[in-house]
Structure 1
Amino acid sequence: MTYTVIGPTVTRTFRVLWMLEELGQSYDRLTHAPRSDALRKFNPAGKVPVLLDGDAALTDSTAIMHYLADKHGALTYPAGTLDRARQDGFTHFLLDEMDATLWTAARHTFILPEEKRVPEVKQSLKWEFARAVNELMRRKGDAPFLMGDQMTVPDIIATHCGSWAIAAGFPLENDAFRAYAKPLRSRAAYVRASAA
């Protein structure tokens, strides 16, 4: 079976592409832009990414990644285990403290109507992001991945947030985070997803 991934690579769609590459799954691409009429045929909210699995259109990058991880039995711990609860703790921390901060900065840079933007908030968001990165590294410890020796869904989210932060001009001064993310960005699946 071949999946179809909808959305530009420079969005959270990248997470889904990387996940599929890690899983060794084949997929087709549609690069419909957010809020475009072509995209709204699959997601009326106009948001990317969208994953087509047969007749089903799945939305939200994290939900899609969890679906794929559970379906293919990889990059995750089994539901109902303590390890899965810890993994989900990392996922929710990343979404609440890092992804949401970057998304708020993006909204106040180019997404919201100009009269609704508050550019001054970005300095506070950069401070919040740096605190979150420090806390993430404290929780991670010395292991190669967030969950120890096994790469899981939150590693994809964390690495993507790091790349997003750099692209958005957020200072990423935590040496431990840079050392953690560098080998993840060097993985063959990451490189293939970047080229998709």
Structure 2
Amino acid sequence: MTTLYIANKNYSSWSLRPWVLMKHLGLPFDEQLMIFGEGSNWDAFRQFSPSGRVPCLRDGDTVVWDSLAIAEYLAEAHPGVWPSDRIARAWARSAAAEMHSGFGTLRNECGMSCGLRVRLHAIGPALQADIARINELWNEGLSRFGGPFLAGDAFSAVDAFYAPVVFRIQTYGLPMQGAAAAYVQRMLALPAMREWYTAALAEPWRDHAHEAETHHFGEVTEDFRLA
């Protein structure tokens, strides 16, 4: 059985990517949830992941320890991970890679915390630039390939890579324009996304570092998590 190691669903945006991809495509896997602890998780996570980080996929003797590498590994054996059309596939891979390596301000100032609603203290130029680029990119994909997903009529890895951004938009009320706004609601309604969200709300664990980061950049207005 293929095993996917992930961390807290409320916080772990990187874990969400392969999880939602595999769930939506119906690929069987065993989920292993590893809770963020106080301080470093390095020693505990190194037991299953060479990088000491999640997500990590173990398929027999094969270990794949990066979300983009996991997507590519799955694509070699399963259709539908990337669009079948060559042009759409090239765009989807480029957009996913941009998410994988970019949007640093969005990551730092709008950390994923699915169960919260947060009013940001400010949206500075760098964060505004990231939000504008998300709007531009999503509206381009939806218009160019016809939707309802970013690279065409089927959910693919590029949608999975932006799934954490969808939760961030919900948490922080980030402004989306045009077709991108409807895309957010469409993604939130997906069964796999709803399953992840429900599980995130039910988690009893709190990670101090993640909580402190959220309070540094904004005011929590609502908390839907298990008390």
TM range, smaller chain = 0.7 to 0.9
User: Is 1:45 aligned with 2:51?
Assistant: yes
Give the residue type in structure 2 aligned to 1:74: G
SS for the counterpart of 1:71 is coil
Q: Is the 8 A contact 1:101 1:128 kept in 2?
A: no
SS for the counterpart of 1:72 is coil
Please name the residue that 1:154 is paired with. Answer: 158
Give the residue type in structure 2 aligned to 1:8: N
Please name the residue that 1:27 is paired with. Answer: 30
CA RMSD of aligned residues (A): 2.9
Superposed displacement of residue 175, structure 1: 4.7
SS for the counterpart of 1:18 is helix
Please name the residue that 2:97 is paired with. Answer: 92
Superposed displacement of residue 49, structure 1: 1.2
Q: CA separation in 2, counterparts of 1:159 and 1:175? A: 18
Please name the residue that 1:115 is paired with. Answer: none
SS for the counterpart of 2:4 is strand
Q: CA separation in 2, counterparts of 1:67 and 1:121? A: 40
SS for the counterpart of 1:179 is helix
Percent pairwise identity: 25
TM-score norm. by structure 1 comes to: 0.76
Please name the residue that 2:212 is paired with. Answer: none
Superposed displacement of residue 166, structure 1: 4.2
User: Is 1:179 aligned with 2:185?
Assistant: no
Q: CA separation in 1, counterparts of 2:63 and 2:139? A: 37
Segments of structure 2 that go 5 or more residues without pairing to the other structure are 112-120, 200-227
Please name the residue that 2:132 is paired with. Answer: 131
TM-score norm. by structure 2 comes to: 0.67
User: Is 1:63 aligned with 2:63?
Assistant: no
Q: Is the 8 A contact 1:70 1:78 kept in 2?
A: no
Q: CA separation in 1, counterparts of 2:46 and 2:110? A: 21
Superposed displacement of residue 78, structure 1: 5.2
Please name the residue that 2:88 is paired with. Answer: 83
| Structure 1 pair 20–137 and aligned structure 2 pair: CA distance change class (3 A) | closer
Give the residue type in structure 1 aligned to 2:131: A
Give the residue type in structure 1 aligned to 2:24: E
Q: How many residues align?
A: 181
SS for the counterpart of 1:52 is strand
- Say which of 54, 60, 64 aligns to 1:54: 60
Please name the residue that 1:5 is paired with. Answer: 5
Which structure is higher in RCO with an 8 Å CA cutoff and minimum separation 6?
Answer: 2
Please name the residue that 1:117 is paired with. Answer: none
Q: CA separation in 1, counterparts of 2:7 and 2:44? A: 11
Give the residue type in structure 1 aligned to 2:82: T
Q: CA separation in 2, counterparts of 1:175 and 1:83? A: 21
What CA deviation, in whole Å up to 9, does each residue of 1:43-92 have, x standing for no partner?
3433221112112321122221232233221231359x333212212212
